[in-house]
Amino acid sequence: MISSNSLTVRAVDGFSSEITVPGDKSISHRAAIIAGLANGPCRISNYLPSEDCLNTLRAMESLGVECDYIEANDHGPTEIIIDGTSMSLSSPPTAIDCGNSGTGMRLLAGILAGQNFESTLTGDSSLCSRPMGRIIKPLEDMGGHVRSAGEREGHAPLIFQGRSLEPIRYVMPVASAQVKSAVLLAGLFAKGTTTVEQPATTRDHTERMLTEFGIGVRREGNEISIEGGQTPEARDLDIPGDISSAAFWLVAAAAKKNSHLTVRGVGLNPTRTAVLQVLLRMGARINQSVTHTGGGEPAGDLAVYASELQGTEISGGEIPNLIDEIPIIAVAGALAQGTTSIRDAAELRVKESDRIRTVVENLQAMGANVTEHEDGMTINGGANLHGASLDCFGDHRIAMAFSIAGLFAEGDTFIRNTECIATSYPGFEQDFSRVCGIKVQ
């Protein structure tokens, strides 16, 4: 039984299904921002109408970008003409609310630091407790003036005074695509060459999209440089499905006996597909076919067939490329035979929830054998899972990961406060019913 803000899940038999997941969240944020800076109208198709991405779209509108909503589904606009401002944003009438979105806030910070007007970025209580010092530091190094007005130093709300920026060479202490993107976007508004060096490869959607919009972006290994003063040339974009959303179904089908699932039109950018490498190492049977490349992003189909999963080790440079999939990979680890070790993943503690704590707590509540570490967890798989009454701590990925876990548990799994799912995957509950055959009530 599913209602608007809770989910009750119980075990199902194997299933055979096909699914198209909604548009990629990371790419949708960037499309709203970069198209809004472009030199003319851009038609964006398959935009993700999730709360996070709608907040970024509203943010751009409040900065003077005109948006024409061409098509919508039950959750919001999916096809939009964004009329670029040729890099000329205007002062927002009120504080910009980024809701729950770290990506929205950090990327918007990159463009607001270099404007000639004052602006404020705020968000919900989860977002206002997440670290923003990581973007304040490089933006201030560029000459920006960013005041953190949160309860603690380095937390939102963030108030931007509006300054002209100088280029920098910034060596990032954490492997974060959001920080890299904030600096590169700020670099567009600075005079000269801004360079970012990342400690490990992170998702490269910003670099790809800027290149697609005709911006010169130089990449040498983990160093990315951009020349300020360029204006993105208007382009149309078709956003692929989000592999982070597909990951829930991939794990469900890989672990559930007698199941088969095809995911169509999903983004297959190699900086996002580490989840596939991990599942393959665990013994999953997955066929991947790249069918097209659009907007600089490869996309295609994934076919997954049930198999016996085995534990694996995940650490080091692989972590940033599957950071959002770790909650569902941890569920896969609990369903696998043997040990799954997840290390070097301390960044999980500063996501929408402390995802090390929340995953461990919920897995333990379901009877899994898990040990928490400061930077990850060790899961001794194969224990019989049982239903439980779980919280999702306001975290969409925790809500979805444990909905999938419930498919493998004895008895009912009840998940409270699942409305947060709409931040990244509106329609998850309906897809859940369709794929797994549980009736929505």
- The least CB distance from residue 7 to ligand S3P, in Å, is 22
Per CB under 6 A, the segment of 34-42, 170-178, 245-253, 428-436 that binds ligand S3P is 170-178
Q: Which of 324, 325, 395, 429 binds ligand S3P (CB under 6 A)?
A: 324
Please identify, using beta-carbon distances, which residue of 217 and 323 lies nearer to ligand S3P: 323
For residue 157, give Cα distances in angstroms to 186, 245, 292, 322. Answer: 19, 29, 40, 28
Q: Mapping DSSP to helix (H, G, I), strand (E, B) and coil, where does residue 262 land?
A: strand
DSSP state of 94: S
Shortest CA distance to 323 belongs to which of 303, 361, 350? 350
Asked if residue 135 binds ligand S3P (CB under 6 A), the reply is no
Per CB under 6 A, the segment of 70-78, 174-182, 328-336, 365-373 that binds ligand S3P is 174-182
Please identify, using beta-carbon distances, which residue of 63 and 177 lies nearer to ligand S3P: 177
Asked if residue 178 binds ligand S3P (CB under 6 A), the reply is yes
Per CB under 6 A, the segment of 86-94, 175-183, 328-336, 425-433 that binds ligand S3P is 175-183
Residues 188-217 that bind ligand S3P (CB under 6 A): 203
Within 8 A by CB and 6+ apart from 223, the residues are: 195, 196, 197, 198
- The least CB distance from residue 75 to ligand S3P, in Å, is 19
Question: What distance lies between CA 18 and its chain's CA centroid?
Answer: 23
- The kind and range of the H/E element at 2 are strand 2-3
- The least CB distance from residue 352 to ligand S3P, in Å, is 8
Please identify, using beta-carbon distances, which residue of 203 and 208 lies nearer to ligand S3P: 203
DSSP state of 430: H
DSSP state of 159: E
Half-sphere exposure of residue 438: CA atoms within 13 angstroms, side-chain side: 23
- The least CB distance from residue 177 to ligand S3P, in Å, is 3
Kindly state the number of chain residues that form the binding site for ligand S3P, as judged by CB under 6 A.
Answer: 10
Beta bridge partners of 237: 44
Asked if residue 272 binds ligand S3P (CB under 6 A), the reply is no
Please identify, using beta-carbon distances, which residue of 24 and 301 lies nearer to ligand S3P: 24
Residues 328-347 that bind ligand S3P (CB under 6 A): 347
Asked if residue 323 binds ligand S3P (CB under 6 A), the reply is yes
Q: Encoding tokens for residue 262? A: 């095809």
Distance CA(301)–CA(292), nearest Å, equals 10
Within 8 A by CB and 6+ apart from 137, the residues are: none
Determine the length of the chain. 441
Asked if residue 176 binds ligand S3P (CB under 6 A), the reply is yes
Cβ burial, residue 13 (10 Å; 0-12/13-18/19+): exposed
Per CB under 6 A, the segment of 172-180, 262-270, 310-318, 357-365 that binds ligand S3P is 172-180
Distance CA(159)–CA(129), nearest Å, equals 16
- The least CB distance from residue 425 to ligand S3P, in Å, is 12
Catalytic residues: 324
List the x/- string, 25-64, binding to ligand S3P by CB under 6 A. -x--------------------------------------
Asked if residue 355 binds ligand S3P (CB under 6 A), the reply is no
- The least CB distance from residue 363 to ligand S3P, in Å, is 20
Shortest CA distance to 93 belongs to which of 140, 129, 132, 58? 58
Beta bridge partners of 8: 414
For residue 360, give Cα distances in angstroms to 73, 296, 328, 345. Answer: 35, 37, 12, 14
Please identify, using beta-carbon distances, which residue of 198 and 413 lies nearer to ligand S3P: 198
Asked if residue 103 binds ligand S3P (CB under 6 A), the reply is yes
Please identify, using beta-carbon distances, which residue of 178 and 413 lies nearer to ligand S3P: 178
For residue 198, give Cα distances in angstroms to 140, 211, 342, 343. Answer: 18, 19, 21, 19
Q: Mapping DSSP to helix (H, G, I), strand (E, B) and coil, where does residue 356 land?
A: helix
Please identify, using beta-carbon distances, which residue of 97 and 324 lies nearer to ligand S3P: 324
- The least CB distance from residue 37 to ligand S3P, in Å, is 17
Binding site for ligand S3P (CB under 6 A): 26, 103, 176-178, 181, 203, 323-324, 347
